[in-house]
Amino acid sequence: MAVKKQKKPQKRKRVSVTAGATGFAGASTGISPKGLSVPSSSSDPVSVLMAMTPSGAETTSSTSSLLTVKSTKAVAQKKSSLATAQLIRRYHTLNKELSKCLARIEANKNATEQQHHHHNNWKHGGSHKGQEQAAADLVRIAEIRQEMDDLGGLDMYQKASTLGQSKQRGGDSSKWLIPILESCHPDINKKTDPPLRLLDVGALSPHNYQKYSSWIHTTPIDLNPQDPLITKMDFLEMPVPASKDKLFNVVCLSLVVNFVGDPAQRGEILRQATRFLVPRTGLLYLVLPLPCIDNSRYMDHELLVEMMNYLGFATLVKHHFAKKLAYYVFRLDVAPGGSGGKKGKAGMVKFPKKMRHDKPNRNK
């Protein structure tokens, strides 16, 4: 990052102009009205990300006061966290749109197959429309994938998310869980009892629970591990433990469900968690962006709790709404294979998409 030298010491408390002008240039010019666009010449996701995340202190001259360093740092941090949030948001939007296009193509393919089955063919207006829609979807899918690639793909998204986990920004979400684990296992002898088994799905770091390793044994997995200690694994394809002692006491789904674009797959992830937990005591730690709960047209706290009950998570142990995130701990009270985790009647969707809060400023 280019750093201009200040010739004369600046007045106290003044935010360095250099930080504003060069320190954040990557982000301020890189954000198009459509979203983030990263110069295609820069192929290394980290360097692109670093260009958008300046360290404020760097840009302050040695003659500046401590206060200047502090305010510069604060401004730079705020800007960099905005850029990170914007990148994450854009990636989510693209991911969701991609899932929608793919689902439409799949539905159209099924409808076409059915029509053929009934000796109908493309002469029908509906099929023709469907064909046009499928062609448009294919074009859009290519555009979306290109934009995701330009952003740096899943790897870049994860690096941005890791940055969001940094200590300055509140840290990872493990800290809220610890007191709850302690209260749910008051008799645990942290030195002698077997450690609790915790499955961290979508782990960006293998060290989230390291401080508690004497009583928590973590298995971190991710689609695209950012560390060799994280197992590369799709949770939806993870083999269900063959014996009871391999089940988990805790499954963490922190900012994972909202990452998945397809609503049915989001449900599948929650259902999958029931197969990995110790029945009656196993805990699911679910973290979601707060707007998923308090600013959605179709979802809210009550519906989430109802859906979780249906899956077998009959007890909401604790929940908490922070500024940006919603934290939930549910207990799996019903053994998998009981009513929880079962499919509804054939062909019936148990929780159809229904408007619950018809307000213009709410998310779709």
Ligand X SMILES: C[S@@+](CC[C@H](N)C(=O)[O-])C[C@H]1O[C@@H](n2cnc3c(N)ncnc32)[C@H](O)[C@@H]1O
Q: Which helix (H) or strand (E) holds 246?
A: none
Whole-angstrom Cα distance, residue 200 to residue 218?
Answer: 7
186 CB-near residues (< 8 Å, 6+ apart): none
Where do we find the tokens 């985790």? 341
Choice between 15 and 201, CB closer to ligand X: 201
- Smallest separation, CB 279 to ligand X (Å): 22
Binders of ligand X in range 279-308 (CB under 6 A): 287
* 235/330 with CB nearer ligand X: 235
Nearer to ligand X, 56 or 206 (CB): 206
Site string for ligand X, 222-241 (x = CB under 6 A): xxx---------xxx-----
Minimum CB distance to ligand X smaller for 137 or for 172: 172
Between CA 335 and CA 252 the distance in angstroms is 18
Whole-number minimum distance, CB 333 to ligand X, in Å?
A: 25
Looking at 165, 166, 296, 315, which residue binds ligand X (CB under 6 A)?
165
Where would I find the beta strands (DSSP E) of the chain? 31-32, 35-36, 196-201, 216-222, 231-232, 250-254, 283-289, 315-321, 325-331
254 binds ligand X (CB under 6 A): yes
Contact assessment for residue 61 and residue 5, using Cβ atoms and an 8 Å cutoff: yes
Does the protein bind ligand X through residue 172 (CB under 6 A)? yes
Candidate segments 42-50, 68-76, 116-124, 256-264, binder of ligand X by CB under 6 A: 256-264
Report in angstroms how near the CB of residue 326 gets to ligand X at its nearest: 12
Out of 202, 220, 336, 340, the only residue in the binding site for ligand X (CB under 6 A) is: 202
Window contacting ligand X (CB under 6 A); options: 154-162, 190-198, 212-220, 241-249 = 154-162
Q: Which two tokens stand for residue 214?
A: 């004497």
The full DSSP string for 2-53 is: --PPPSSPPPTTPPPHHIIIIITHHHHHHEETTEE---TT---HHHHHHHHS
Work out which of 16, 161, 218, 274 binds ligand X, going by CB under 6 A: 161
Residues 123 and 19: beta-carbon distance below 8 Å: no
Which residue number, 147 or 222, has a Cβ lying nearer to ligand X? 222
Two structure tokens written together for 189: 């002898």
Q: Do residues 195 and 184 lie in contact, with contact meaning Cβ atoms separated by under 8 Å?
A: no
Provide the binding-site residues for ligand X, judged by CB under 6 A.
154, 158, 161, 165, 172-173, 201-204, 221-224, 234-236, 254-256, 259-260, 287
Annotated binding site: 202, 222
